[in-house]
Amino acid sequence: MSIISKRLSKIKPSMTVGINVKANALRAEGRDVLVLAAGEPDFNTPENIRKAAYKAIESGQTRYVPGKGTPDLQKAIQEKFIRDNDLHYELDEIMVGVGGKHIIYNAMMATLNPEDEVIIPSPYWVSYPDIVLLAEGKPVIVECLESQNFKITPDQLEKNITPKTKWLMLNSPSNPTGSVYSKKELEELASVLLNYPNVLIMSDDIYEKIIYDDIEFSTLASLEPKLKKRCLTLNGVSKSYCMTGWRLGYCGAPKDIISAMNKIQSQSNSSTSSISMAASVEALNGPQSFIIEHNKRFINRRDMIVSKLNNIEGISCNIPKGAFYVYPNCEGIIGCKTNKGKEIKNDEDFMNYLLDSEGVAGVHGEAFGLSPYFRLSYATSEKIIEEACSRIERACKALI
């Protein structure tokens, strides 16, 4: 009899985490590896936020805190939703978790029964299907092609809703494609959802503030107030405030879902760290101008990486509107042979080839549910982007 639970046989470890581990191991062996696989800004946590954390430690905010968030943090989140999203949540409709990932995990554990279906548009963030499987639900993957800017259409949504559908996962700006749903596109999805009152919506807004080209961010619960009682609006400090290591995510959702999620949290991790909560109060209430500065850097890098990739034969890259990833198409590379005679059969082979031949680490599209693509993160220096693109070009030239 296996000592490991059967539950785990259905899921795989996070591939993005795995690739970073592999790249770091190669580095430790002395290889020159450029890692464009990380899902985090390369900027430091702003000083005012770091200082708020020191202050919390020195003032003794080091004890157990409520899992749903300290009163200060709950209030800061409530005000953030009003200020940025015109969403009014009562305090018992708000909760805090150990990162956005943990909020999703708690929500799925709290709501899914075996075989409940969760519609996940692909390409998706790698963890969605596995979290659903861990909670014994059934991911229903809906392929959203490049020709539709990797976004689910109202027609696709409607076709995939069944009596068993429990959730729709929506992520905008998207990881891995950087696509952003416009207000009009969300309104069209909302009009389908209004016909299916049993479907809940997970609106993953974690990249809300990393958005470019004057595009206006919209979220379903605020756009269609009739859907608010079925939406979980997810956000967190990881990406916008450069706080990935602090592990703090939060959400607004109907009271019964929040209360069920709190029950799980109370019997598992209790809460995220009291220090992270104090720092996040400062993140949400403090100056926001550095986000504009960061976005300016990201736009420069985006433009640079997109134009360089589009100059490489075999690769084409559309222009992402948010987040800090590109999701280039590598169809032109599939079927080519390396100088050792190995055929590049898929995007995973291509990523392995890039890592082995040129020391460039990206993530293959299959990990996000749509091939043949790969994801590169441009949350790294201009110098590294430049060097990585030159190496990718050299690697592709050697193939074609």
Ligand X SMILES: Cc1ncc(COP(=O)(O)O)c(C=O)c1O
For ligand X, the binding residues (CB under 6 A) are: 39, 99-101, 125, 171, 175, 204, 206, 236, 238, 244, 249
What is the spatial distance between Cα 174 and Cα 180, in angstroms, rounded to a whole number?
6
Strand partners, 117: 138, 165
Element (H, E) at 91: none
Q: How far is the CB of 331 from ligand X (least distance, A)?
A: 25
What is the spatial distance between Cα 36 and Cα 304, in angstroms, rounded to a whole number?
14
Q: Which is nearer to ligand X, 37 or 206 (CB)?
A: 206
Residue nearest to ligand X according to CB distances in the complex: 99
Q: How far is the CB of 184 from ligand X (least distance, A)?
A: 22
What is the spatial distance between Cα 10 and Cα 97, in angstroms, rounded to a whole number?
24
Distance of alpha carbon 355 from the chain centroid: 23
Q: How far is the CB of 320 from ligand X (least distance, A)?
A: 13
Q: Which is nearer to ligand X, 106 or 111 (CB)?
A: 106
Q: Name the nearest CA neighbour of 170 among 181, 183, 155, 160.
A: 181
The angle subtended at Cα 178 by Cα 35 and Cα 343, nearest 5°, is 55
Q: Which is nearer to ligand X, 175 or 265 (CB)?
A: 175
What is the spatial distance between Cα 23 and Cα 260, in angstroms, rounded to a whole number?
39
Q: Which is nearer to ligand X, 206 or 315 (CB)?
A: 206
Q: Which is nearer to ligand X, 258 or 336 (CB)?
A: 258
What is the spatial distance between Cα 359 and Cα 201, in angstroms, rounded to a whole number?
40
Q: What is the dihedral of CA 389, 394, 397, 399, to 10 degrees?
A: -100
Q: Which is nearer to ligand X, 149 or 346 (CB)?
A: 149
Q: How far is the CB of 255 from ligand X (least distance, A)?
A: 23
Q: How far is the CB of 6 from ligand X (least distance, A)?
A: 26
The total number of residues written for the chain in this structure: 400
Q: Helix 289-310 vs helix 382-399: angle between axes, to the nearest 10 degrees?
A: 20
Residue 213, φ and ψ in degrees, nearest 5: 60, 40
- 3-state secondary structure (DSSP) of residue 204: strand
Q: How far is the CB of 323 from ligand X (least distance, A)?
A: 8
- Which residues have a Cβ under 8 Å from the Cβ of 4 and sit 6 or more positions away? none
Q: How far is the CB of 240 from ligand X (least distance, A)?
A: 10
Q: Which is nearer to ligand X, 99 or 328 (CB)?
A: 99
Q: Which is nearer to ligand X, 14 or 390 (CB)?
A: 14
CB-based contact 217:235 (threshold 8 Å): no
Q: In whole angstroms, how large is the CA radius of gyration of the chain?
A: 21
Q: How far is the CB of 2 from ligand X (least distance, A)?
A: 29
Q: How far is the CB of 102 from ligand X (least distance, A)?
A: 6
Q: Which is nearer to ligand X, 96 or 257 (CB)?
A: 96
